[in-house]
Amino acid sequence: MTPSEENFTAWVDGRLSREEAARFEEALGDALPEVGRDREEARKLGNLLRTQWKPAELTNGDFFNHQLLERIQAEESRTRPPSEPARHGVSLWRLLWIGSVCCGIAVMATMAVQPVEHGGARGYYAQVLNPKPGNSKISAKPFYSRKANVTVLWLDGLDRVSGEGRK
């Protein structure tokens, strides 16, 4: 860029002092009207850009933010140290405590389910899951006798079994 080009740009933008502008215009001599028209053109162009041109707009701004925050969070989780020493200590103790409590619960549950022994003989464990028979005429009732240590499933409404059938 030549000094005159530089001066011309400053002249268009009103960046020359009064003295500088006077010197520049004097130096132009006969070319002043022509260069003056060129300055007008440059100013019209500036006006056109300012008034008629709209910069591109971002569409889907919400997604832009969403993506940006995701990237920041991913970056932060990558750069963050695995965990601080104090926090590490606490979480280890917490893990141990949770482990102990779980073990305790498991032992208590096992003991509760363990069958009770009667008279030295090992007891049994029975559970009636569904005492409802398929036939509506038949009713089924389970009951447990602690004394006899038996569970009985009492069925009503069954047909009599013939003597022959018993054979």
Applying CB under 8 A, which residues contact another protein? 1, 4-6, 8-10, 12-13, 15, 28, 31, 34-35, 38, 41-42, 44-50, 52-58, 61, 64-65, 67-69, 71-73, 75
Cβ neighbours, 10 Å, residue 8: 19
* DSSP structural state of residue 82: S
Measured from the CB atom, the residue of 35 and 140 that comes closer to another protein is 35
Q: What minimum distance in Å lies between the beta carbon of 48 and another protein?
A: 4
10 Å CB burial of residue 11 (0-12, 13-18, 19+) is buried
Distance between CA atoms of residues 91 and 78, nearest Å: 21
Q: What minimum distance in Å lies between the beta carbon of 63 and another protein?
A: 10
Measured from the CB atom, the residue of 39 and 140 that comes closer to another protein is 39
Cβ neighbours, 10 Å, residue 7: 19
Q: What minimum distance in Å lies between the beta carbon of 84 and another protein?
A: 15
Measured from the CB atom, the residue of 31 and 98 that comes closer to another protein is 31
Q: What minimum distance in Å lies between the beta carbon of 22 and another protein?
A: 17
Distance between CA atoms of residues 55 and 18, nearest Å: 35
